[in-house]
Amino acid sequence: MRVASARARWFGVTLAVLLLDQLSKSAIRAALAPGESHPLLWDLVSLTFTENQGASFGILQGAGLPISIVSIVALGVFAYVTLFSDVSEKGLLFAIALAAGGIAGNLIDRLAQGAVTDFIDIGFWPVFNVADSAIVVGVAIIVAYLLRSSSRDD
């Protein structure tokens, strides 16, 4: 039963990230025109509606199909690891769920809109979204887990 509850939590986190991402992007598309920006938090953060047809940080512009294929493969790998492997570490499952929710959110944008909606603008960094944040945090935790695991094996 423990494994089933871990899987249910994984699905819940993935779904929560996906919903938060899609709802926030929908709100931005409804409230702002592309390129429009509204400052928040003493001009430290702005809501800036941009559309990204590439990958993170605007690289690989126009490579929507290859990026979509890689996203689908990554989601498959994450689903396999979570559902069929013996991975039981809660932190790693949480990280996979974060990354999967973010990947799914951006994939939906690519398939439905032809571009990913970005809107969180902190000035010195490329504009990003909730999905991007979840992917970065999730992958960072996964990398830390893998590095820690490999150092234990030595």
For the whole model, what pTM was predicted? Answer: 0.89
> Going residue by residue through the chain (154 aa), what tens digit of pLDDT does each one get?
465 676 788 899 999 999 999 999 999 999 999 999 999 888 789 999 999 988 776 777 877 788 899 999 999 999 988 888 877 788 889 999 999 999 999 999 999 999 999 999 998 889 999 999 999 999 999 999 989 887 776 5
d(CA 76, CA 81): 9
* Annotated active-site residue in 109, 132, 153, 154: 132
Active site residue 153: no
- CB-based burial, 1-15: b 16+ in 10 Å, e otherwise: eeeeebeeebbebbe
Task: Return phi, psi of residue 23, to 5°.
Answer: -65, -40
pLDDT of amino acid 153:
61
Structural domain containing residue 64: 2-153
d(CA 126, CA 120): 9
pLDDT of amino acid 4:
66
pLDDT of amino acid 54:
80
Active site residue 118: yes
pLDDT of amino acid 33:
96
Provide the number of structural domains found in the chain: 1
* Annotated active-site residue in 21, 109, 118, 121: 118
pLDDT of amino acid 60:
79
With a CB cutoff of 8 Å and minimum separation 6, the contacts of 67 are: 54, 55, 60, 110
